[in-house]
């Protein structure tokens, strides 16, 4: 049996307090200082991952305890050192392949340097994240009765590794595509080279609000630590697929835009009977803040590689090989991974909620016409 480890880190100070109750009541400055020197440690032992044909894997989640803004602000070498130290812990526990979670997959060169310094192969998990995200976007479109072939899609973060791959996969299925990114030079080059060959009408902008206003289908995949998409920018009945952690979509959208469907795109169901047990408190389940048997797709990619005994740096760097997106999807299917139930803002999207969203969109359109 091949085993895996996956590097995690807190996305906010609320995350820290949720997983370490002793941190509650401590000042933000003190917590940030503590985290700046805190070494990595193994947090979770994962067992019970089992394919329909009987293959199994186990693994560990190892924390590299830095906040997203610390990953960006700290010297790059210091961050690399923290991530590689976390992987070494996983390797010493028996892992054969490592996955990078959230900003550990974003910082620097998208895992290339970390892989070079790691004792075991490393993957960012972005290939399965992209596959799961595209599936969620079009699933949301079907639920909201948006005809994708006549729609305008918007990719926010279009020049990033996930965003650029999403743009290429979405382009054949929509009428128009709007590319959004902050760096105008990079975005213009992307639009004039790769996007110029897409089979749909394409345009680009560095203004997020202006770009989002044009679309009925939106994918957001930035590395921002701040809200990127606000309720005022969204069309009535729009579908927004969120692939970023921390989230790009303002929580105000959930309260102020009942006519918009937001879906967290990168979740998958794990085959078997997976358990996520806290190592420091044996017998206690680790709260992933997801439904039972559900993990982020980037975690799922690492598990799939272990189950398939593909001990290799499957996804690395800024450019995503779309053939690998297809391949990891096939491997995940073979291993029994499945699309997870739709969620948004840490809650399930029920059929009743979809019906209410469609009704709110219909009512809003009638108001506009009147």
Phi, psi of 31 (to 5 degrees): -65, -40
The CA-based angle 303-305-306, given to 5 degrees, is 65
Q: Residue 90, Cβ neighbours under 10 Å: how many?
A: 27
| Chain position carrying tokens 């996969």 | 169
- Could you write out the three-class secondary structure of 126-165? HHHHHHHHHHHHHHHHHHCCCCHHHCEEEEECCCCHHHHH
Nearest CA among 275, 236, 273 for reference residue 368: 236
Give the C-alpha separation, 204 to 190, whole Å: 10
Q: What is the dihedral of CA 335, 341, 345, 351, to 10 degrees?
A: 170
Give the Å distances, CA to CA, from 327 to 122, 308, 321. 17, 12, 10
From first to last of its 370 residues, what are the pLDDT tens digits of the chain?
Answer: 999 999 999 888 888 877 776 777 777 888 888 888 889 999 999 999 999 999 999 999 999 999 988 988 899 999 999 999 999 999 999 999 999 998 898 887 889 999 999 999 999 999 999 999 999 999 999 999 999 999 999 999 999 889 999 999 999 999 999 999 999 999 999 999 989 999 999 999 999 999 999 999 999 998 787 899 999 999 999 999 998 877 889 999 999 999 999 998 889 999 999 999 999 888 899 988 889 999 999 999 999 999 999 999 999 988 889 999 999 999 999 999 999 989 998 888 999 999 999 999 999 888 876 6
Q: What does pTM read for this prediction?
A: 0.91
Phi, psi of 155 (to 5 degrees): -115, 115
Nearest CA among 307, 304, 309, 311 for reference residue 327: 304
Task: Please say whether the beta carbons of 240 and 263 come within 8 A.
Answer: yes
Q: At what angle do helices 322-335 and 297-307 cross, to 10 degrees?
A: 70
Beta strands 347-348; 343-344: pairing state:
antiparallel
| Token code pair at residue 240 | 């927004």
Give the C-alpha separation, 182 to 188, whole Å: 11
Give the C-alpha separation, 84 to 114, whole Å: 6
Nearest CA among 233, 290, 241 for reference residue 263: 241
């Amino acid at each position: 049996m091949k085993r895996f480890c996956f590097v995690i880190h807190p996305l906010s100070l609320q995350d820290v307090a949720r997983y370490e109750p002793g941190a509650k009541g401590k000042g933000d400055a003190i917590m940030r200082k503590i985290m700046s020197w805190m070494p990595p440690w193994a947090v979770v032992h994962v067992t019970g991952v089992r394919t329909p044909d009987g293959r199994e894997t186990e693994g560990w989640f190892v924390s590299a305890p830095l906040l997203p803004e610390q990953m960006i602000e700290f010297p790059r070498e210091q961050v690399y050192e923290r991530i590689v130290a976390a992987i070494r812990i996983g390797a010493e526990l028996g892992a054969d392949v490592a996955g990078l979670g959230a900003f550990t997959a974003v910082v620097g060169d998208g895992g290339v340097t970390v892989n070079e310094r790691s004792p075991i192969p490393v993957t960012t998990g972005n290939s399965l994240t992209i596959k799961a995200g595209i599936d969620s976007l079009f699933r949301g479109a079907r639920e909201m009765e948006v005809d994708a072939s006549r729609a305008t899609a918007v990719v926010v973060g279009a020049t990033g590794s996930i965003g650029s791959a999403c743009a290429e996969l979405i382009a054949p299925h929509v009428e128009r595509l709007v590319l959004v990114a902050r760096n105008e030079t990079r975005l213009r080059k992307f639009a004039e080279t790769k996007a110029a060959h897409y089979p749909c009408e394409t345009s680009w902008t560095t203004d997020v609000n202006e770009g989002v206003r044009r679309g009925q289908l939106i994918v957001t995949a930035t590395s921002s630590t701040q809200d990127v998409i606000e309720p005022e920018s969204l069309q009535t009945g729009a579908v927004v697929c969120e692939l970023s952690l921390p989230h790009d979509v303002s929580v105000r959208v959930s309260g102020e835009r009942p006519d918009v469907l937001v879906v967290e795109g990168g979740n998958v169901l794990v085959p078997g009977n997976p358990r996520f047990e806290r190592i420091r408190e044996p017998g206690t389940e680790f709260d992933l803040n997801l439904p039972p048997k559900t993990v982020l797709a980037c975690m799922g990619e690492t598990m799939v590689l272990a189950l398939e005994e593909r001990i290799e740096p499957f996804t690395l760097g800024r450019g995503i090989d779309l053939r690998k997106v297809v391949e990891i999807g096939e491997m995940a299917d073979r291993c029994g991974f499945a699309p997870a139930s739709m969620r948004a803002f840490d809650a399930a999207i029920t059929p009743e909620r979809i019906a209410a969203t469609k009704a709110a969109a219909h009512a809003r359109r009638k108001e506009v016409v009147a």
